[in-house]
Structure 1
Amino acid sequence: MPLVNVKVIEGVFTEAQKAEMVTALTDAMVGVEGEAMRPVTLVVIEEVKSGDWAIGGKRLTTQDVKELAAGAPAG
């Protein structure tokens, strides 16, 4: 059984966006594995608490990620 585990910072993605991720990732895996694997392809989305995720020694919050997505410079 294939398992795709996605970690995101809490509060960044809506329920609709997470559903879209599940569909797109399942479709991508089925594209590699074959259609017979669709019923057993698992996608898990885990939300990490805001501030518990760090890159380059800088903790990221939900707001940081939303600002990055909006095109604000990092830092």
Structure 2
Amino acid sequence: MSTATPLPYSRVVLIPSAPPPKESIMPFANFKFPEGIVDAARKEEIIHRTTAMFVEYFGEQARPYSMVLVEEVADGGWGRADQTLTLAKMGKPPSKE
């Protein structure tokens, strides 16, 4: 696995607060990043590491039912604290189109 630094604007929320019964485990994580920030290798790493986290938390029976969605959002298409975020505001180069 890569030792790349974590992306400061990403997070994972685990729901529910207590592990569900084994027959109903279907963990899901949805990561959203500005378009062009995360390459294919990093997306694959996010998927593998998130799945590993789910398995650590819920047990091996969760692996075949784990879903990790990595989405890219168009520049300016998301915000935080009532401010529209753009790559320029985050000090990042424009995405390659």
TM range (shorter): 0.7 to 0.9
Pick the structure with more strand per residue: 1
Give me the whole-angstrom Cα distance separating, in 2, the residues matched to 1:13 and 1:58.
22
Unpaired runs of at least 5, structure 2: 1-25, 93-97
Matched residue type, 1:6: F
TM-score (norm 1): 0.76
Pick the structure with more helix per residue: 1
Q: Are the equivalent residues in 2 in contact too, given 1:29–1:41 (CA < 8 A)?
A: yes
TM-score (norm 2): 0.61
**Which of residues 18, 22, 31 is equivalent to 2:47?**
22
| Larger RCO (CA under 8 A, 6+ residues apart) | 1
* 1:1-75 paired onto structure 2 within 5 Å: 1-65=26-90, 67=91
Quote the RMSD (CA, aligned, Å). 1.6
Give me the whole-angstrom Cα distance separating, in 1, the residues matched to 2:66 and 2:39.
22
Give me the whole-angstrom Cα distance separating, in 2, the residues matched to 1:39 and 1:56.
36
Unpaired runs of at least 5, structure 1: 69-75
Equivalences, count: 67
1:11-51 per-position Cα deviation (integer Å, ceiling 9, x unaligned): 11111011100011110111000011101101011111111
Matched residue type, 1:60: L
CA deviation after TM superposition for structure 1 residue 55, in Å: 2.1
Identity %: 34
